[in-house]
C-alpha cells in the first residue's frame, strides 16, 4: 500500500513540476535532457557547460534564432569580409549535440545575455534603425561588426570550447600532425570542427566511407589514389568493414604522417595488425605468413629492431609500403601494382639504384621455403637441421668418451700417489674406537 502511495505522489509532483515550468523553452529543454541521460556514452554527456534551468529559460535556442534564423544575417570581421551568421535550425536539430540536449550556449559560451552584452556587438539600432524616423519602416538585413580578425579566427577561437567536454580527444590531437602544422603557422590546418562539422555535427564514421570523404576535403589527390587502391575500392563499392579507411592507418585525433619519425617503423605493426590476423584474412584467402616472413628477412629484422629499441630513429630499410605502395596499394596480381612481377625491378631500384633484372628474386615474396618452389633453400635448411646436431652431437660423444678415459686414468694414477697426513686428535680418537 505504502509503495503505491509513494508512486502516486511522485507522479503527481512530476505533473505539477511540468505544469509550473510550462514555458516553451523549458519544454524544449526537458525532452532532450532525458535522452542524454539515457545515452550509452557518458563522455558525451555535457556536464560543465550545460545550462542551468534559469539560463536556458532566458536564452534558449528560441532566443538565438530570433536573429540567427534570418538567411541574410551577416557579420563583418576586421578584414572586411562577410560572414553569414545564419543558422538553419533543422541542421542543428539533426546533429548529435542537439540529440544530447545541448543548446547554442553550450559551445558559444561567451554569448551570454541578450543581445550578446558581453561583447556588446549588437545594438537596437542595428535592427531597428529606421523605427524612430519613418512609419513605413523598411526591413533591413542585420549586419554586425565582429571583433575577430577574420572568419578563421572565429573558428579557431570557438574550437577551444570543444575541450570542455571532449578533453581526452582534444589532448590526443595536441601531438597530431595537423596541430604541428598549425603551430608551424598554417592557420588552415584542420581543427575539430573542420573534420567533425560545427552545427551539423554527426557521427564521423556512419557510413564508414564518410571518414575518407572527410579527409578528402583537403587531401583530394591522395584520396583519389586511395579510391583506386584495393582498400579504397572495397570501402567505396562494398563498404567493406575489414579494409582500412584513412584513420585506421594514420590514427584519428593523433593523426600521423610520413614526417613523423616513428611512422615508418610503426607501419609494420599497422599493416601486420590486419594482415597477420587469421580471422580477418581467411575470408579473402590472403596468407598471414606475410608478417613473419618479413620479420625473418633482412629488411624486417632491421625495421623491427629499430621499432623495438629506439623508435625515434627512422630505419632506412624497406617497410611494407615501400614495396607495396602507399595509397596506391593493389594486389600483387594487378598489373599496375608496384609488386607485380614486371614492376618489381623499378620498385627495388627506389633503394637499390643499380638493381638488375635478377635482383627482385632475392626476395621470396613472403613465401615460406618449400621443396617445390625453392629447392636449394629448402635443401640447405634441411641438411643443416640434421648436420648441426649430427656434427656437434658426434663431437660431444667423442669428447665425452675421451674425457671419461682421461678422468679415470687420472684417478688411477693418483691412487698410487697417496701421501699420509697427520690430522691430530680427532683422527686418533676414531681409531681408538675401532680398536
Q: Which residues bind other proteins (CB under 8 A)?
A: 295, 298, 301-302, 304-306, 308-310, 313, 352, 354-356, 358-364, 369, 374, 376-377, 380-381, 384, 387-388, 391-392, 395-396, 398-399, 401-406
Q: Which is nearer to other proteins, 24 or 375 (CB)?
A: 375
CB of 405 to other proteins, least distance (A): 5
Q: Which is nearer to other proteins, 207 or 356 (CB)?
A: 356
CB of 263 to other proteins, least distance (A): 19
CB of 355 to other proteins, least distance (A): 5
Dihedral class, residue 103 (left if φ above 0, else alpha if ψ from -120 to 50, else beta) = beta
Q: Which is nearer to other proteins, 153 or 289 (CB)?
A: 289
Q: For residues 389-405, b (16+ Cβ closer than 10 Å) or e, as one string?
A: eeeeeeeeeeeeeeeee
CB of 328 to other proteins, least distance (A): 25
Residue 47 half-sphere exposure toward CB, CA atoms < 13 A: 5
Q: Which is nearer to other proteins, 93 or 395 (CB)?
A: 395
CB of 396 to other proteins, least distance (A): 6
SS3 call for 276: coil
Q: CB within 8 A of 296, min separation 6: which ones?
A: none
Residue 361 corresponds to which cell in the numbers above? 628474386
Q: Which is nearer to other proteins, 137 or 391 (CB)?
A: 391
343 alpha carbon, distance to own chain's centre: 32
CA distance 233 to 231: 6
Q: Which is nearer to other proteins, 231 or 299 (CB)?
A: 299
Enclosing H/E stretch for 83: strand 83-84
CB of 274 to other proteins, least distance (A): 21
Question: Residue 107, exposed/middle/buried by CB under 10 A (0-12, 13-18, 19+)?
Answer: buried
Amino acid at each position: 500500500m505504502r509503495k503505491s502511495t509513494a508512486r502516486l505522489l511522485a507522479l503527481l509532483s512530476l505533473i505539477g513540476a511540468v505544469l509550473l515550468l510550462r514555458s516553451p523553452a523549458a519544454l524544449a529543454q526537458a525532452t532532450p535532457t532525458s535522452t542524454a541521460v539515457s545515452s550509452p556514452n557518458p563522455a558525451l554527456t555535457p556536464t560543465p557547460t550545460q545550462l542551468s534551468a534559469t539560463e536556458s529559460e532566458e536564452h534558449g535556442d528560441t532566443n538565438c534564432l530570433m536573429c540567427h534564423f534570418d538567411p541574410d544575417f551577416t557579420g563583418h570581421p576586421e578584414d572586411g569580409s562577410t560572414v553569414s551568421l545564419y543558422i538553419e535550425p533543422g541542421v542543428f536539430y539533426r546533429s548529435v549535440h542537439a540529440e544530447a540536449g545541448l543548446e547554442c550556449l553550450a559551445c558559444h559560451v561567451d554569448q551570454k545575455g541578450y543581445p550578446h552584452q558581453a561583447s556588446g556587438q549588437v545594438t537596437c539600432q542595428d535592427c531597428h534603425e529606421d523605427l524612430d524616423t519613418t512609419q513605413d519602416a523598411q526591413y533591413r538585413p542585420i549586419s554586425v561588426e565582429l571583433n575577430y580578425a577574420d572568419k578563421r579566427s572565429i573558428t579557431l577561437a570557438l574550437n577551444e570550447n570543444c575541450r570542455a567536454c571532449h578533453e581526452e580527444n582534444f589532448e590526443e590531437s595536441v601531438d597530431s600532425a595537423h596541430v604541428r602544422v598549425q603551430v608551424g603557422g598554417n592557420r588552415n590546418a584542420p581543427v575539430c570542427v573542420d573534420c567533425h562539422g560545427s552545427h551539423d555535427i554527426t557521427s564521423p564514421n556512419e557510413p564508414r566511407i564518410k571518414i575518407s570523404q572527410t579527409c578528402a576535403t583537403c587531401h583530394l589527390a591522395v584520396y583519389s589514389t586511395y579510391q583506386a587502391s584495393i582498400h579504397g575500392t572495397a570501402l567505396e563499392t562494398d563498404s567493406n568493414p575489414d579494409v582500412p579507411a584513412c584513420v585506421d592507418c594514420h590514427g584519428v585525433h593523433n593523426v600521423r604522417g610520413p614526417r613523423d619519425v616513428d611512422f615508418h617503423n610503426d607501419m609494420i605493426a599497422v599493416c601486420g595488425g590486419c594482415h597477420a590476423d587469421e580471422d580477418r584474412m581467411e575470408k579473402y584467402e590472403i596468407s598471414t605468413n606475410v608478417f613473419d616472413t618479413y620479420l625473418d628477412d633482412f629488411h624486417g629484422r632491421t625495421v623491427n629492431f629499430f621499432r623495438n629499441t629506439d623508435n625515434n630513429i627512422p630505419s632506412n630499410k624497406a617497410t611494407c609500403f615501400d614495396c607495396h605502395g602507399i595509397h596506391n596499394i593493389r594486389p600483387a596480381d594487378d598489373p599496375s601494382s608496384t609488386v607485380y612481377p614486371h614492376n618489381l625491378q623499378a620498385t627495388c631500384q627506389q633503394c637499390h639504384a643499380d638493381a638488375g633484372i635478377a635482383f627482385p628474386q632475392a626476395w621470396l615474396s613472403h613465401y615460406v621455403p618449400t621443396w617445390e618452389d625453392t629447392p636449394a633453400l629448402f635443401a640447405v635448411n634441411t641438411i643443416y637441421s640434421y648436420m648441426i646436431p649430427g656434427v656437434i652431437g658426434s663431437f660431444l660423444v667423442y669428447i665425452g668418451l675421451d674425457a671419461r678415459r682421461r678422468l679415470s686414468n687420472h684417478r688411477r694414477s693418483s691412487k698410487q700417489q697417496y701421501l699420509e697426513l697427520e690430522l691430530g686428535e680427532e683422527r686418533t680418537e676414531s681409531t681408538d674406537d675401532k680398536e
